[in-house]
Amino acid sequence: MGVMQRPGIDDHTAEYWARQVRLGSGIAGGVTLLASVRVAVNWAADIRWWVAPLLVAAAVVQAAAVALPWRRYVRIHRLRRWLLLWWVAELPILWLFAANDEQGVTAYLPCVALLLITSSMLYGPAVVVAVGVTSVVGLLGLVQLRVGVNAVAVVTLAAILASVAALCAVGAQNRRRLHARRRSVEHRAELLLEASSDAVFAIDRNFHIHYVSPSVQTVLGRAPAEFTGELLGELMHPDDRILARSWMAALFEAPEGGTSRIEMRIQGAYGTWVHLDVIGTNRHGDPDLRAAVISLRDIGGRRALEQELSRQAFTDSLTGLPNRALFRDRLAQAVARIDDTEIGVLLLDLDDFKLINDDLGHSLGDELLATIATRLSREIGPGDVLARLGGDEFAVLLEDTDEPAAVALAERLLRAGREQIRLGSREVTCSLSIGIAGGTRPAEQLLRDADLAMYAAKRAGRNAYAVFDPSMSRSVLEEAQQRVDMERGLAEDQFEVLYQPVVDMRTRRVTGVEALVRWRHPERGLLSPYCFIAAAEANGLIVPLGRWVLRRACAQLARWRAETPAAAHLRINVNLSARQFQYAGLVDDVAAALSDAGIPANHLTLEITESMLMADITAAIETLGALRSLGVSLAIDDFGTGYSSLSYLKQLPVDIIKIDKSFVDGVDTDPDDHALVNAMVGLGKALRMQTVAEGIETDAQWSVLRRIGCDHGQGYLFGRPADHATVLGLLTTEDLPAAA
């Protein structure tokens, strides 16, 4: 079992004990020295030769004890108990002196009174009473050694001595009560301070700590004793010491009661640094304190919150990169530092991210952005800044650079962006469009120029970079305005679908229609596809536009089938753009359009140009196979213009080849065109594909194509693109009229 530790004494009590011990030692030394003089003068020679030196030595020892560090010694409980023996030992020595001196009784009484008084200043009433009783007994013993002593005088002296002892005992009791009251008040104050969220120090002018509140254990994780007597400056963080010492010096120079505030770091438990809000009050003029009172509050949580708020204000939460605000700040600082060097700005935009996000969902879209950010970060130099400006847009700041270095970085970023990314169970390939601007221009102009260059890269086909050139401004602004107009057109239903008949070459009956989009622009009137399709391909709106055309065409076929039995076998053809064909959600879009319209899948034919298929034959075969699995028919549009390999052609799961108008124009007049068309029709028969001749405008062309064996035809001879009501009228006509 452990031994119970006795509580120590506080600084005030230790100072009191040390003062009283020094006073008692001085008095004892002085009295002993007087006794030695008495012995040397009045005692017999056979005794005084050794008693006098002994008393002198005792006087010197007791006087020298005054200089001992009693403030430290009295904190030891065992030593305080042994001090009592010092006091008690004085009584027999005093009694022996009085017994051997003629005037001993006279000296005994005042000396015993001094013992009683000094003991009452340190010990309790029980000790004082014991010393008093012993003193009275000693007095009576001395009287017995004297002859002729008056009994009344003896009783009187004993009564006086007893009274002195009683008064000292009462004083000791009162002192103890006052001490207990003081300790109670101090304990209550310490409990209140301990429960406080602040720690309190008291420091002197030399910055030594004299008092530490118990709550320091909560604030700094260290016991108060670890701080008492230490220099406050030595506990501070090295980076805070100079400022904090100046602050403390100014605090002591402030008027009495003046306060001051500072933030600093002080070492806590396990060597950690605790951020503190420190309030100091100058109380050095108070005689009871003579110190400055320092209040310390832990603001680590507040600082962490401030740092987190700052991080959130200037950091992108998804990627951990700097955000637009921080990038603009860094760019402004870089521009302000420009001397003889240039800075570069790269703006990066993830091509078709909106389509990917819509197809895969926002969760996988976020994962894609985070992955792209990580890959881009690997290519950025240590002195460069990569930021996410928002959405799928990133930016890079290069300092002390030139155009070749910026271009080299752009090429590395393009390669990093093209690497396949696995999202869930799907492999996704992305690309970037990068705009580069550099020089010594203002920050906003650099950003604007890089933005224009990025749009130029998108216009050039995406997956590319472009360096800013002043000539870009006009064309990019025009394209940007066209994109805005197209977005508004989609939102306000300004686009229309017209339908051109596809006929059987033998009977000239309508067997299908091709859906062709037009834009009824509010200012420019009805626009043909040549006015906006290329721009839609460049700005990415071709996918939502193509989806809208597909759904509108399927819905219209469903209405025709409901309106007339003549449309029961009607087929509808819809063109797919290159971007739409590469779009990962194409198959789902087609399935949704068929399902919502409620038409048979084999009544829908999707047309893909030959050049689109040849761009990536492997991916094309995979996409065509997925579409074919839905039950739709597939046609190669503009056949003969894409230089496709016959070995690839037989691998493609297509049903129809559409012979381009450029070959049909001379089929009745040019032997070469006639031979080429004849070969194409023969190829179609060999591959068990139907053939459709496009752009038929004369009876002669129709007659030649019919003899060659072409299955279907379309062109102005059979009908121009028309609205749904006109097509409904054609469906009820047995034969189309011959051309005039």
Q: How far lies 228's CA from each of 18, 216, 224, 250, 656, in Å?
A: 19, 11, 7, 22, 96
Q: Rounded distance, CA 87 to CA 93, Å?
A: 11
Q: What is the pLDDT of residue 607?
A: 93
Q: What is the pLDDT of residue 148?
A: 63
Which of the listed residues 305, 338, 358 is the one where a domain comes to its end?
305
Of residues 187, 231, 165, the one with CA closest to residue 13: 187
446: tokens are: 């650099």
Residue 21 lies in a domain: yes
Q: What is the pLDDT of residue 193?
A: 59
Q: What is the pLDDT of residues 288-324, one digit of tens each?
A: 778 888 888 888 777 777 777 767 777 888 888 998 8
694/676 same-domain check: yes
* Domain hosting residue 30, numbered range: 11-188
Q: What is the pLDDT of residue 589?
A: 93
Q: Are 512 and 570 in contact (CB under 8 A)?
A: yes
Residue 379 lies in a domain: yes
40/151 same-domain check: yes
423 - beta bridge partners? 426
Q: Are 496 and 518 in contact (CB under 8 A)?
A: yes
Q: Rounded distance, CA 346 to CA 446, Å?
A: 9
112/143 same-domain check: yes
Residue 447 lies in a domain: yes
Q: How many domains does the chain have?
A: 4
Residue 91 lies in a domain: yes
176/201 same-domain check: no
Beta strands in 451-538 (DSSP E): 464-467, 495-504, 510-521, 525-527
Whole-prediction pTM value?
0.48
Nearest-5° Cα angle at 445, 441 to 446: 70
* Regions in the chain scoring below 70 on pLDDT: 1-8, 147-149, 186-187, 189-197, 310, 340, 473, 475-477, 614-616, 640-648, 734-740
Residue 2 lies in a domain: no
278/377 same-domain check: no
Q: What is the pLDDT of residue 173?
A: 87
**DSSP at 5:** P
Of residues 217, 281, 221, the one with CA closest to residue 251: 281
Q: What is the pLDDT of residues 72-127, one digit of tens each?
A: 888 888 887 788 788 778 888 888 888 888 787 788 888 888 888 888 888 888 88
41/108 same-domain check: yes
Which of the listed residues 256, 277, 305 is the one where a domain comes to its end?
305
Q: Rounded distance, CA 578 to CA 157, Å?
A: 128
Q: Is 80 exposed, middle or buried (0-12, 13-18, 19+ CB in 10 A)?
A: middle
CATH assignment of the domain containing 265: 3.30.450.20
Q: Rounded distance, CA 597 to CA 590, Å?
A: 11
Q: How far lies 192's CA from each of 187, 214, 283, 548, 737, in Å?
A: 9, 9, 21, 74, 107
| DSSP line for 255-322 | PTT-EEEEEEEEE-GGG-EEEEEEEEEEETT-TTT-EEEEEEEE-HHHHHHHHHHHHHHHB-TTT-SB
Q: Rounded distance, CA 14 to CA 17, Å?
A: 5
Residue 149 has, within 13 A of its CA and on its CB side, a CA count of: 19
Q: What is the pLDDT of residue 214?
A: 79
Q: What is the pLDDT of residue 175?
A: 83
160/206 same-domain check: no
603/644 same-domain check: yes
How many residues would you count in the chain?
Answer: 740
